Amino acid sequence: MNLPKLAIVGHPNRGKSSLVATLTEDERIAISPVSGTTEVAEPFNLSVADTPYLTLVDTPGFQRARRLLEMLGGDELPLDQRPNAIQSFLADINLCQQFPDEAALLAPIVDGAGILYVVDGGRPYEEVYAPEMELLRWTSAPRMAVINPIGSDRHVAQWQQVLNQQFQVVRVFNPLASGFNTRMQLFNAFSILAPQWQHQLQDLQAVLAAARQSRALEAAGWIARLLNQSLSFKVSVIGQGDLARTAAEKRLLSQLAQQEQACWHNIASAYRFSELDLSIDQLSLPEDDLFNQQAWQLWGLSRKQLWLAAGASGALAGGALDLAVGGTSLLMGTVTGAGVASAGAFWADRKLAKLGWAKQLLGSKESWQCGPVKHANFGFVLLARALVVWLAVDQRTHAQRDRIVLQDMQSQLWQKLSLKEQGQWLRLFAKMQQAPLADKQQAELAEQILALFEKVRSELS
Ligand SMILES: Nc1nc2c(ncn2[C@@H]2O[C@H](COP(=O)(O)OP(=O)(O)OP(=O)(O)O)[C@@H](O)[C@H]2O)c(=O)[nH]1
Ligand SMILES: [Mg+2]
């Protein structure tokens, strides 16, 4: 069966390629403020699990629509001859060379694609658009228009009046800020317009809804894996005394930071962003370094919250929690733990509360084992940062080409949970710091993370 096919057409620089990128979730499609970026018509499939469901043809913008219309006979041409006139134009090589953009954008329509005409709701209607719409009418293909409010929606109402005269369906759609439901509405609108594709477009919506759920579970799975790997992570270094200890600490922290980065990239890939720059220095994180004292204060629980949560969970009474590591040890401003204190300058701004240490003698050599990070906040910090990356990726469209911006919500994230819930997470993290979870428990953790993500997301919207 033929795939439903839509040609995305319009004036240059109106967001046609942006629309294609967003709907097909393709970050490689060329988008730029330079008019005339798209020079040839190119099909892109919307596929789920490698099965294509819809083809969108990105096209160059109209350049000389009025002239072409005149050449083809204009108003004088009888209605019954107009579709043929477009076909004859495309069959005429000389004419096509004179009107290469019009030829490129009309060819897929004559070939069976439906029309999606894009206009900018931030700019007023002008007569220059009339011949474009007229040429599209001549094709007699199913036609829908999309008003993209670039910069503002000042002229949306005016455009609606114009487009309602020319197109069977008119919708407002911003490819830079369109959520899942808005996209489904667009597919639905097209399924009404083109009954021959109705079933396929309905199937597409069901498949996309299922894919959305499974990618969320995949992202949650990556975070569960990160927590399970990082909370109990240790490294060993062979060598003598302080030198070996400093090397071990450095290695521990750099590997933990790598694990965190890998998790973020996996989340982005689950959402089909494989080229997104998630390097720490590209992100507008308030405190970028995972092991920086301020970062922990921002992303984790406050000292008071930790104690309250520990009390609420019964973890303190049960002795399950390693909170009591010296009078002020929960404050990251204070260096505690023999290993950290002796590491000297390297740790001057990395005052973590406590790392696990073990020394073994291997013949004449020492082997220093460093880790895990024992602080009760470590799990909260890792989870909060991963959730914020996930929220940003979930809300981003594939037409956005600027730097990814993370929500500034660190301080509120854990406030959304009750003390009891905070206590439950605290207990779980403490357990994982002692030993990693078995696979089944890790899968349960992923479910919990997914529920937390959905709660945070719904409160944000
Ligand atoms: N602010 C804002 N910018 C947009 C929106 N849609 C598109 N743009 C920007 O407008 C510019 C043109 O977007 P494209 O998608 O390349 O437009 P096009 O119609 O394919 O352009 P050509 O290929 O040159 O015909 C890009 O800089 C986009 O980022 C929008 O909804 N809001
Ligand atoms: Mg383009």
Q: Specify the residue with its C-alpha closest to ligand 1, atom 4.
A: 150
Domain finish residue from 193, 227, 248: 193
CA distance readout (Å), 200 to 126, 146, 206: 36, 21, 10
Q: Give the pLDDT score at 144.
A: 96
Residue 143's CATH number: 3.40.50.300
Q: Specify the residue with its C-alpha closest to ligand 1, atom 8.
A: 15
Nearest to 366 by CA among 284, 247, 279, 269: 247
Pocket test for ligand 1, best of 8, 11, 18, 146 (most atoms within 8 A of CB): 18
Pocket around ligand 1: residues whose beta carbon is below 6 Å from it? 12-18, 31-33, 35-38, 60-61, 148, 150-151, 174-176
DSSP β-ladder status, 5-10 and 51-58: parallel
Please report whether residue 201 resides in a domain: no
pLDDT tens per residue, range 207-216: 999 999 999 9
Q: In terms of domains, do 176 and 258 share one?
A: no
Q: Give the pLDDT score at 305.
A: 84
Q: Which ligand is the nearest neighbour of the Cα of 33?
A: 1
Please report whether residue 49 resides in a domain: yes
Q: In terms of domains, do 171 and 233 share one?
A: no
Q: Give the pLDDT score at 355.
A: 75
Q: Give the pLDDT score at 184.
A: 95
Q: Give the pLDDT score at 338.
A: 32
Q: Give the pLDDT score at 332.
A: 35
- Tell me what the mean pLDDT of segment 419-428 comes to: 92
Pocket test for ligand 1, best of 150, 171, 186, 401 (most atoms within 8 A of CB): 150
DSSP β-ladder status, 5-10 and 114-120: parallel
Query: Is residue 329's pLDDT more than 60?
Result: no
Please report whether residue 239 resides in a domain: yes
Tokens (6 digits) for 361:
């003698």
Say how many Å lie between the CA of residue 399 and the centre of ligand 1.
Answer: 8
More confident residue, 319 or 424: 424
In sign, the C-alpha dihedral spanning 198, 201, 205, 206 is positive
Q: Which contiguous run of DSSP H or E holds residue 210?
A: helix 198-230
Q: Specify the residue with its C-alpha closest to ligand 1, atom 7.
A: 15
Q: In terms of domains, do 70 and 154 share one?
A: yes
Q: In terms of domains, do 361 and 222 share one?
A: yes
**Confidence band (pLDDT; 50, 70, 90) for 266?**
very high
Instruction: Give every strand in the sheet of 51-58, ordered side by side.
Output: 42-48, 51-58, 5-10, 114-120, 143-148, 169-172
Q: Which ligand is the nearest neighbour of the Cα of 15?
A: 1
More confident residue, 218 or 370: 218
Q: In terms of domains, do 239 and 351 share one?
A: yes
**Residue 307 sits in which domain range?**
213-460
Please report whether residue 203 resides in a domain: no
**Confidence band (pLDDT; 50, 70, 90) for 374?**
confident
* Residues present in the chain in total: 461
Q: In terms of domains, do 217 and 124 share one?
A: no
* Side-chain-side CA neighbours of residue 149 (13 Å): 14
Q: In terms of domains, do 223 and 170 share one?
A: no
CA distance readout (Å), 149 to 171, 348, 461: 11, 51, 21
Question: 3-state SS of 376-440?
Answer: CCHHHHHHHHHHHHHHHHHHCCCCCCCCCCCCCCHHHHHHHCCHHHHHHHHHHHHHHHHCCCCHH
C-alpha–C-alpha distance, residues 182 and 168, integer Å: 19
C-alpha–C-alpha distance, residues 238 and 361, integer Å: 9
Q: Which contiguous run of DSSP H or E holds residue 114?
A: strand 114-120
Q: In terms of domains, do 400 and 315 share one?
A: yes
Least confident of 268-272, 329-333, 348-352, 358-362: 329-333
Nearest to 123 by CA among 103, 99, 148, 98: 148
Q: In terms of domains, do 281 and 420 share one?
A: yes
Q: Using a pLDDT cut of 90, give the percent of the chain over it.
A: 66
Q: Which contiguous run of DSSP H or E holds residue 44?
A: strand 42-48
Q: Give the pLDDT score at 410.
A: 63
Q: Ligand 1, residue 400: give the atom nearest the CA.
A: 29
Query: Is residue 96's pLDDT more than 90?
Result: yes
pLDDT tens per residue, range 12-31: 999 999 999 999 999 999 99
Instruction: Provide the H-helix boundaries in 1-71.
Output: 16-24, 65-71
Q: In terms of domains, do 219 and 184 share one?
A: no
C-alpha–C-alpha distance, residues 330 and 324, integer Å: 8
Round the average pLDDT of the chain to a whole number and report it. Answer: 87
Pocket test for ligand 1, best of 31, 132, 396, 401 (most atoms within 8 A of CB): 31
More confident residue, 217 or 461: 217
Domain finish residue from 162, 193, 224: 193
Q: In terms of domains, do 408 and 290 share one?
A: yes
pLDDT tens per residue, range 443-460: 999 999 999 999 999 887
C-alpha–C-alpha distance, residues 58 and 29, integer Å: 9
Please report whether residue 199 resides in a domain: no
Please report whether residue 205 resides in a domain: no
Number of domain units in the chain: 2
- Tell me what the mean pLDDT of segment 60-80 comes to: 96
Please report whether residue 202 resides in a domain: no
Say how many Å lie between the CA of residue 150 and the centre of ligand 1.
Answer: 8
Top-ranked range on mean pLDDT: pick from 146-150, 347-351, 362-366, 375-379? 146-150
Please report whether residue 338 resides in a domain: yes
Tokens (6 digits) for 147:
């008003």
Tokens (6 digits) for 168:
């069977």
More confident residue, 125 or 304: 125
Cα angle for residues 416, 420, 422 (degrees, 5° grid): 55
pLDDT tens per residue, range 187-223: 999 988 888 999 999 999 999 999 999 999 999 999 9
Q: Give the pLDDT score at 371.
A: 85
Q: In terms of domains, do 234 and 182 share one?
A: no
C-alpha–C-alpha distance, residues 431 and 435, integer Å: 7
Domain finish residue from 193, 227, 249: 193
